[in-house]
Amino acid sequence: LTQEDLKRLAAYKAVAFVESGMVIGLGTGSTTAFAVEQIGQLLQQGKLKNIVGISTSKKTQEQALALGIPLSDLNTYPVLDLAIDGADEVDSKFNLVKGRGGSLLREKMVEGACLKFVVIVDESKIVENLGASGLPMPVEIVPFLDLYFEKEIGDLNFASDSILRIAGVVEHGMFIDMATTVVIASVAGIILKHK
């Protein structure tokens, strides 16, 4: 099983939570692209009806439109039934690092507006503690600022608050206490974790 196979497996498992009539947050990234593809297929086969998607990036918007998934926005639907998205890191408490795909602000807005947030990952994303990968924490800043700072992630909430206090920072890639379900695809099979 390649990593791509695992991403596809996790994505299809998450789409099983999608029911006709739902308003769905559509995340961004290679794993979620499989979920969007599957939703499009089920719509075309008539197995899913009356789905409305809220995209989190231009990339996802284009993919959804090409598949014929009707799209809307948060103004029209301030509360969503379900969001499906990938992550860069997932810890044991379902805290996430996201945003290395470059779409974290819209993702956080959409995923913060949904009743259920299903995260889909292959096993390589599972970490003991956020920041464990040593990769930089994504932050969304006001455009054209050449803002740069290093931040050790000790206490997640402290790090979260202190980063947001830096003028020019709009949002960061720590999604604390937001995911309700994590779907982990591993070579040993699919692991489903509900909060």
Name the residues that contact ligand DER, by CB under 6 A.
27-31, 85-88, 98-104, 107
Nearest to ligand DER of 44, 135 (CB atom)? 135
From 37, 62, 89, 107, the catalytic residue: 107
Nearest to ligand DER of 37, 85 (CB atom)? 85
Residues 40 and 43: their CA atoms lie apart, in Å, by 5
80-85/114-122 β-pairing: parallel
Least spacing, CB of residue 141 vs ligand DER, in Å: 16
Least spacing, CB of residue 29 vs ligand DER, in Å: 3
Token pair for residue 136? 């930089």
Nearest to ligand DER of 21, 62 (CB atom)? 62
- In Å, what is the CA distance from 116 to each residue of 53, 73, 123, 180, 193? 14, 17, 21, 6, 13
Residues 44 and 33: their CA atoms lie apart, in Å, by 17
Does 171 participate in catalysis according to the annotation?
no
Least spacing, CB of residue 103 vs ligand DER, in Å: 5
List active site positions. 107
